[in-house]
Structure 1
């Protein structure tokens, strides 16, 4: 066993910094402070260790992949600001988002060894489980740490003015599922899956239903085997869905809205998509009008009236806010960053996939949990929050760094399978 360098020892706090960032997501301001301070701390550590073995903090491959995935996200921002509809804001967003790069290095360093992965993955699982329990309590009593259930869906710790509970739990679901499976086996996995289904269903965001469904299929396949997974997920999902439908009128309304897509016709599809077809049409019009570098990140709301079709219902409902972003990752990238942005995003996906393909079985086992979380979060056949917003962009980049740092661990750790990721 090799001894730890002073720099490695000084970074033993890195997992706790990552966990503080995740735990503070429900309160946006403090989470931003932790992110910014973490970026500065990472830069300070790198500056102090540059000539004292700093490259031992991460493998060369992890440095490269983390940086490349950041660039695939950030360079489209910068290029889009050249002739953006709101050039000042687009450029400001690009400059502010530079802080993500050192923070992502810090996140990757946090999971570059077995101890760091155990603390970070286990800590995220604990945080998600606490939010899950809070959601279950709110479903039963109407009370939550985030306040009473004043909205038409579960809001949990995020509060009724910030309805992200279902989306966040669905994206983070691989972490508590893996932890429950490791500690309690199949029974633990099944109980955690059932709790996630109840809360995510009642949280109401149908995009999170699909995200969680993908997580349960892939995680269940690995945990139970293909036939048992399909049987258990089918029967269990049907039972929980029936119970939720029985006790939730709002859930029934959302299911009926979803079923409208099966009736055929544009009106039924638009109703099932909560009126998003006009938004997607406007996003496509922006992409066609600005095919090279888009209208500029975070300029969607300002450009919307110009590119909306005649009679667009969202222009008659200014308070709704559905026209603030494209609600779909491919259309967001195309409309706001153009073909340059889409090519760079696809390049990032290709490199992440290439790293997975050529990784050892032990490395894949280490990175399986964040890989699944990242994959379902950016799954293109779904609706999404804005990836160039601070909150969802930060969540996505965090998962990318967890994936890079755990897949391409430090030399000396790369061949050691991590039981916590199994």
Structure 2
């Protein structure tokens, strides 16, 4: 059986490389767009040689429908935007996700390639975690010395490390489970837990908790076992949090800010949420004034001063740009409503409904193959959390990348419902199934 090490090495010299590079280059900002460009070139080359992504059109069709909802909401908002140049340029930039996704649907056609990509992403996350632990222990990383409340590891001064690691963690946990079984899954969970906690992003904490719950449910097979795993996980979390609280000034600072929620009523809650209550109030005023098509995608910061009090922190703060305001609402439903209006939100909800329908119809086997990508998208879109901007160049790229991988993985190899693909990956597939489905496979 091909080992995971060999599979992950092989990804560097295969058609998967351009798509994999998007995640590999995420710590280096806009460098990740190199992967997008290479996917475009690769798609053109493949089509020229007679290999079209719509030959087996289910994945490509699903992708185009979901991107139509995502891009269509932005397009609708641009016609009456408060910052037309910003909104129209954002809409144009979103079109690059079409060749990115079609390329994924073209090259990820078999389970060996799907699993190789999962393993390749897990290798990238292993490097991020290794650098993060180096920074935890020594205070230094290749991208600089840790400062302030946040651990950033290989991401340098970029504070997106925590949310990104939490969202992509299903790939590392999946790979550890496939390679080393339950013990490997537990070790991987603990190795990821430290950097996620010390990265200081509380939205990342919630995302990682949701990932842990999903894996616990998948491993347990019964409600009693699930509750037992949850109890054990809660004990581990309390122990890890206690150690971090006592040994890390960075984690202590984040916890002290979090505990402000119990002091000072609404003012304390706003402080604990880092001013997000103010942002959400302004978002509500913005939505009431532009209910149908919003203020325009990426126009939030330009509209913000018109709906905020004169002394609003985000209007007068130099870090936000004096006279502008908060960059985005920090919650995806408010972002969509404020930026694209009710029509935009309805397009998003229609896309989510279409995706759920496709997922239900794909069958048990296909859902198991797509499990890491499904879980990553699920925690990324979990509504009861704060979020990065889904229409930003960076977070939007990661969202589109996961969407493309999910559409490709859900229909890989045309697997019949409830059956494993015969051959070399049948045993790996069976290990990936939760307990109640293994005998059926």
TM-score scaled by length of structure 2:
0.87
Kept in 1, the 8 Å contact 2:369–2:409? The answer is yes
> Shift of the alpha carbon at 1:346?
0.6
Q: 1:361 aligns with which of 361, 364, 367?
A: 364
> Shift of the alpha carbon at 1:115?
1.7
Listed one character per residue, the Cα deviations across residues 267-287 of structure 1 (whole Å, up to 9, x for unaligned) are 121111011111111111111
Give the structure 1 partner of residue 8 of structure 2.
none
Secondary structure at the aligned position of 1:192 is classed as helix
Q: 2:169 aligns with which of 167, 173, 176?
A: 173
Secondary structure at the aligned position of 2:96 is classed as helix
Q: Using the alignment, how far apart are the partners of 2:106 and 2:408 within structure 1?
A: 6
Q: 1:207 aligns with which of 203, 206, 211?
A: 203
> Shift of the alpha carbon at 1:264?
7.1
Residue 218 (structure 1) aligned with residue 218 (structure 2): no
Residue 335 (structure 1) aligned with residue 332 (structure 2): no
Residue 257 (structure 1) aligned with residue 260 (structure 2): no
Give the structure 1 partner of residue 85 of structure 2.
88
Residue 402 (structure 1) aligned with residue 405 (structure 2): yes
Residue 302 (structure 1) aligned with residue 302 (structure 2): yes
> Shift of the alpha carbon at 1:48?
4.0
Note the aligned Cα RMSD (angstroms). 1.9
> Shift of the alpha carbon at 1:232?
2.0
Kept in 1, the 8 Å contact 2:21–2:34? The answer is no
Q: Using the alignment, how far apart are the partners of 1:268 and 1:15 within structure 2?
A: 48
> Shift of the alpha carbon at 1:351?
1.0
Residue 192 (structure 1) aligned with residue 188 (structure 2): yes
Q: Using the alignment, how far apart are the partners of 2:20 and 2:53 within structure 1?
A: 23
> Shift of the alpha carbon at 1:86?
1.0
Give the structure 1 partner of residue 99 of structure 2.
102
Structure 1 window deviating more from structure 2 (70-79 vs 252-261): it is 252-261
Q: How does 1:55-74 map to 2 (within 5 A)?
A: 55-56=54-55, 59-74=56-71
Give the structure 2 partner of residue 23 of structure 1.
24
Structure 2: 5+ residue runs without aligned partners? 1-12, 434-441
Kept in 1, the 8 Å contact 2:78–2:296? The answer is yes
Q: Using the alignment, how far apart are the partners of 2:361 and 2:375 within structure 1?
A: 17
Structure 1: 5+ residue runs without aligned partners? 1-11
Kept in 1, the 8 Å contact 2:76–2:340? The answer is yes
> Cα–Cα, structure 1 residues 108 and 54, in superposed 2: closer, same or farther, change >3 Å?
closer
Kept in 2, the 8 Å contact 1:114–1:413? The answer is no
Residue 371 (structure 1) aligned with residue 368 (structure 2): no
Kept in 1, the 8 Å contact 2:53–2:106? The answer is no
Kept in 1, the 8 Å contact 2:149–2:250? The answer is yes
Kept in 1, the 8 Å contact 2:54–2:61? The answer is no
Q: Using the alignment, how far apart are the partners of 1:132 and 1:301 within structure 2?
A: 33
> Cα–Cα, structure 1 residues 412 and 206, in superposed 2: closer, same or farther, change >3 Å?
closer
TM-score scaled by length of structure 1:
0.91
Give the structure 2 partner of residue 153 of structure 1.
150
> Cα–Cα, structure 1 residues 259 and 60, in superposed 2: closer, same or farther, change >3 Å?
same
Kept in 2, the 8 Å contact 1:210–1:382? The answer is yes
> Shift of the alpha carbon at 1:41?
2.4
4+ aligned runs moved over 4 Å, structure 1: 412-415
Secondary structure at the aligned position of 1:173 is classed as helix
Give the structure 1 partner of residue 130 of structure 2.
133
Listed one character per residue, the Cα deviations across residues 331-378 of structure 1 (whole Å, up to 9, x for unaligned) are 100000111110111111111111122221111110111000000001
Aligned residues: 406
Listed one character per residue, the Cα deviations across residues 245-277 of structure 1 (whole Å, up to 9, x for unaligned) are 011123122223223324573112111101111
Kept in 1, the 8 Å contact 2:20–2:35? The answer is no
> Shift of the alpha carbon at 1:109?
2.9
